[in-house]
Amino acid sequence: MDKMRFPGAWKLVSNEYCENGVNTYPLGKEAIGLLMYDDKGNMSAQLINAKRPKFAVNDWLKGTPEEIKAAFQGMRCYFGTYDVDEKKKIVTHHVEGHSFPNGIGTDNVRYYEFSGNTLILTTVPIMMGGRKVIGKLVWERL
């Protein structure tokens, strides 16, 4: 059963988003991330641009508008619950909390594929930068 293969911790290997055959990397090619599923239906995902610039002051509440913008745009973090439709090969993340406020209360639908120790998640078309893109995220089991 595929559902039993999800629980555990997964490290981001790659993330790319495609529009009309052109790949983009909104979090950079060097993005880092952690995806966690438990056997009770809870999940959490953190994706971060590993090269986000540091704030000039070591106080997360004292960043300049430019520093705050770069920090926000360089990460996506959310948590909630999940369910698996094995017939359609879909995992749905039911978002309860999100770094992007508009993501709260939404469902993130992902097509999934397992290959050995790897989980590949492909998004349905999503809006990013004013364009519809399809994301492909590759995760390796920790």
Helix (H, G, I), strand (E, B) or coil at 50: coil
- pLDDT for 11-32, tens place per residue? 999 999 998 888 999 999 999 9
Calculated CA dihedral for residues 81, 87, 88, 94, nearest 10 degrees: -10
Mean pLDDT over each residue of the chain, to the nearest integer:
96
Question: Which residues neighbour 29 within 8 Å (Cβ) at sequence distance 6 or greater?
Answer: 14
Task: Inform me whether the pLDDT recorded for 129 exceeds 90.
Answer: no
Q: CA 16, 19, 24 angle in degrees (round to 5)?
A: 35
Find the range with the poorest average confidence among 7-11, 18-22, 82-86, 87-91. 18-22
Q: Whole-prediction pTM value?
A: 0.94
| 2-141: CATH architecture | Beta Barrel (2.40)
User: CA-to-CA distance for 89 and 117, rounded, in angstroms?
Assistant: 17
What is the domain partition of the chain in residue ranges?
2-141
- pLDDT for 45-81, tens place per residue? 999 999 999 999 999 999 999 999 999 999 999 999 9
Spell out a b/e string for 79-97, using b for 16 or more CB atoms within 10 Å of the CB, else e: ebebebeeeeeebbbebee
